[in-house]
Structure 1
């Protein structure tokens, strides 16, 4: 069985994927979408992370990027079972004790539903304005993940010593609801795949086409085997845009559309590659059309994913 989750609309509005209706949407729309995901069997809802967008990128990326901790905490209060994923948090921008305080509190408040997705980041100006070395962000991220493992573990007074961060004798409560908050690694570069293999509980590829995924998955598993890591690793994938049924409008040539059985047959190919969690995105002209699509997918497509 392949689980399915979704990146939330509204909270990030890059021109690559945002629909026109999102520009005038707000917290009420986010809450209702999360509620529908919660009762429709979605494994997770996800929220992105950017601190500030430079003017040179604003036309393409927009400056609408809700803070993931605040947004996921808001949605935790209106949902009961769906997991809450940061996809992805650029944790190298912040001291790991600060990140641990924020996400441990979130996990505590939501009853253990957090998945901490992390990534290296790509906007140089964000790093520069916060005084973080952009060129060394990969190495900083590696150490940050290790530090977060310590800081999000069961100890009230965690200990960590590294090149960039060291701490001991400093207590943090509340602790996470679980002593093993899963950390998923985002990105598709060779460095990101290696990071996911050696440090992650799961991998979140960033838009790899279907044809590239099998080799990426094989590389990740080979790296884990070489390192002697035997615990399971989750494998994610972002699918093509979807529209359940015959679309009455132009949803774009890359969108998968049609009868539920046909969509399920196409999506089952991800499971055959070794993917166990797909991230879906629906084309829509309004919040209502989006939630209708989510419900139709859960009722009519998802049952066929396990065949």
Structure 2
């Protein structure tokens, strides 16, 4: 299919960001995975037995990203513990076993963490990754966690906005200054070490974090939303693209539960899980690429087949249609 003419471009610092530019470019769609890289449809948690080998496999196959979730505790009401390991610790581990794939968070629950510690962790991880880190930030959707941290669930949206700005200022400015309502104060007498490897660490919002789409479009470098109905994707992307500076490309992506049917001709099945054979998926994603979707992050929890077989099939038949990008050097 003919690609649409991009109406905007990435800022130069993000075109050269090894992580962000591998995942996002105007007019193109890429694929990544939400960790863990295994299916566990009948369990709240994965085995993590082959996690290092699978990370190497998706990296070598040419996928664009691995996204790490922030689930500090097991909440039976939520029923999923993600990759179990703390996302910042696990990102540092993945820095040692991968080479080109972007590592991102989807997303750090910012109101439950001190933003200065988040900035320190981000700078450290980005150094270890050589500039491949993409910081995805969320407000959290599990009320049971907030009392454990002594945090107010009701004001999480306001605290998210303030913490978002603190992380941005601390990572991007030498000797930062700020005064905050919910956190601390810096008067320019302290400086963050180390600095990130990249000139700027991109910050994307995961979900909506209690914010308006207008706020996200003007403050963040992009959004990773959640897909509920593919028929509504075009309208959501159009609404997103109408906001913010039209000359600056701010990507729209989504995360979704995913299952690849063994029959390559199986049609799309309705429901919370994106489930189909590869031919229907190629058609869907080609259409969404034309609509302006820049990235799809696949959550493998519902898989009915071994993850390795699914990843290999995607690498052979789907990835050639939607290759990852090569950042500028």
Fold conserved between structures, TM > 0.5: yes
8 Å CA contact 1:244–1:297 kept in 2: the answer is: no
8 Å CA contact 1:154–1:179 kept in 2: the answer is: no
8 Å CA contact 1:197–1:223 kept in 2: the answer is: yes
CA–CA separation in structure 2 for the residues paired with 1:265 and 1:222: 25
Q: Deviations over 1:135-155 (max 9, x none)?
A: 111011111111111111152
CA–CA separation in structure 2 for the residues paired with 1:22 and 1:294: 22
Give the gaps of 5 or more residues in structure 1.
Answer: 12-16
Question: Where does residue 206 of structure 1 map in the other structure?
Answer: 226
1:33 offset after TM fit, Å? Answer: 1.5
8 Å CA contact 2:138–2:209 kept in 1: the answer is: no
8 Å CA contact 1:45–1:82 kept in 2: the answer is: yes
- Structure 1 ranges of 4+ moved more than 6 A: none
CA–CA separation in structure 2 for the residues paired with 1:237 and 1:46: 12
1:207–1:257 Cα change, 3 Å: closer
Further displaced range: 142-151 or 119-128: 119-128
Q: Deviations over 1:22-73 (max 9, x none)?
A: 85622x4111121111011111101111222445x26x33597321001111
CA–CA separation in structure 1 for the residues paired with 2:178 and 2:56: 38
Give the gaps of 5 or more residues in structure 2.
Answer: 1-27, 324-329
Question: Where does residue 79 of structure 1 map in the other structure?
Answer: 98
CA–CA separation in structure 2 for the residues paired with 1:24 and 1:162: 39
Q: Give the superposed CA RMSD.
A: 2.9
> Greater relative contact order (Cα 8 A, min sep 6): structure 1 or 2?
2
Further displaced range: 123-132 or 198-207: 123-132
CA–CA separation in structure 2 for the residues paired with 1:68 and 1:184: 16
Question: Where does residue 14 of structure 1 map in the other structure?
Answer: none
Question: Where does residue 9 of structure 2 map in the other structure?
Answer: none
Question: Where does residue 29 of structure 2 map in the other structure?
Answer: 2
1:96 offset after TM fit, Å? Answer: 1.1
Normalization by structure 2: what TM-score? 0.78
Q: How many residues align?
A: 289
- For residue 131 of structure 2, give the secondary structure of its aligned residue in structure 1: coil
- Quick check: which one's helix share is greater? 1
Normalization by structure 1: what TM-score? 0.83
Q: Deviations over 1:263-307 (max 9, x none)?
A: 311221211221011123455457xx312221221221122247x
